Amino acid sequence: MDVIDRPLYELARLLESGEVSAEELAVEFLSRIDKVDGIVGAFVTVDREGTLSGARMADKARRAGEAPSHLAGIPIAVKDNMCTRGIETTCSSKMLRGFVPPYDAHVVERVKAAGMLVIGKTNLDEFAMGSSTENSALRVTRNPWNLQRVPGGSSGGSAAAVAASEAPAALGSDTGGSVRVPASYCGIVGMKPTYGLVSRYGVVAYASSLDQVGPLAANVRDCAIMLRVIAGHDPRDSMSIDAEIPDYEAQLGRDIAGKVIGLPKEYFAEGIEPGVRDAVLEAAKQLSKLGVEVEEVSLPTVEYALAAYYIIASSEASSNLARFDGVRYGHRAEGAVDSVSMFMKTRAEGFGPEVKRRIMMGTYSLSAGYYDAYYKKASQVRSTLKSDFDRVFERCDALLTPTAPTTAFPIGERIDDPMSMYMSDVCTVTANLAGIPGISLPCGWQDGLPIGMQLLGKRFSEATLLQLAYAYEQAAGYPSRKAPVTKDRGCCSCH
């Protein structure tokens, strides 16, 4: 039975009915990784033995009627900035090569509690700092739709793994668009939940007030399933919200007629490719046909959001990454004559250019004499942006925007142009600054590459966003299209 292209929800049904075993499923996905990951480069670690052993245990538990959930035995991929007990966690950095955590991140605990299997760890921009996964110190990840293009970042490995059918779902982290932009570029669904809905415990911190773990999947239903698995209160995360988690999957298919969606004019301004703009506006027409009221709105502070984001994110990165000093764990430089030189040499060797750039930018923003002009001003912009969203959400149930201003760009095109690279996140950073949820899903194609649209909602409106996304997805019929994963776009020998 060909299972690698089946959606997660169908795999769960096949396991429950006994039509396929968890071990058979594991073998199929491991074989798929063997077949295509040498080309795609989604994974930095594959836990072959652990996956097969876990699959056998899941089969045994299901036969005994003791499976922890209907998802038991389904493999998923996990971004390599999430701690996994007994499996190396590198953040795709030389600084953490060889680091094997003695504990699991909260989201990994929840995945395992559902009986799901961590098949491997996926590539990312180093310490999640980037928009293309080109900043990885370990390997290049390629877009399964066109292997000469980036998969987006920083969760590019997770998105590529799902798009290439190497895993039915994956976990990523989103600090400024790092789940949604890769989802857009790779033609899949990715969600950034409300800040605090998913615990950050065990996720290596980049910018603590912005970081949030989210699911990536081939379709909206699978995304809803995965969100329920990972969401929930965790007392080890001081920002974790103690709230009841709804059954997001059960709420899909509800009538969306009468919902109001806003089109913020600032997201359709200069810098958005015409093809992207047209695809998103066409999606708005499709939603109108489903009974949704669509109207133009304005969020004036969006103009300043990208600058504010990079000041705040870099400032928090400067603080968070101070712990990597060569003393407690991770890389330590050799040949240093004293502790100060060891500290400096370790960080010079261990961090890549983009991480160093953001640490220096953040340190400068926080320094005496510049704090008020940069960090304080950026925080004020953030507060005003939140107020803008609150005002718009008094009228609208959701906002519809492009996920990214372009489709996936060629590998190497922007790596030496940081400002051009940062613009990839211009449509997504606002959700992180405001702490609101956002979801990206496919809405069209340009030159054979996927275009993503983004739905934003008020805090804890994940159910509404998923309902809207599901209704559009079903009407548009996008889940059926699969990435070819071919060396030559005219050859399907790798599929």
| Residues that are catalytic | 79, 154, 178
Q: Read off φ and ψ for residue 301, nearest 5 degrees.
A: -75, -15
451-465: buried (b, 16+ CB within 10 Å) or exposed (e) per residue?
bbbbbbbbbbbbbbb
Residues 6+ apart with CB under 8 A from 390: 458
Which residue's entry shows tokens 């652990």?
A: 50
- Reading the block at residue 236, the tokens are 């080890």
Distance CA(33)–CA(42), nearest Å, equals 9
Instruction: Give the ranges where 233-273 is alpha helix by DSSP (H).
Output: none
Distance CA(29)–CA(77), nearest Å, equals 11
Distance CA(439)–CA(15), nearest Å, equals 28
Residues 6+ apart with CB under 8 A from 67: 58, 61, 73, 115
Extended beta strands in 230-305, E state: 260-264, 293-297
Label the pairing between strands 43-46 and 213-217. Answer: unpaired
**With contact defined as beta carbons under 8 Å apart, do 414 and 423 qualify?**
no
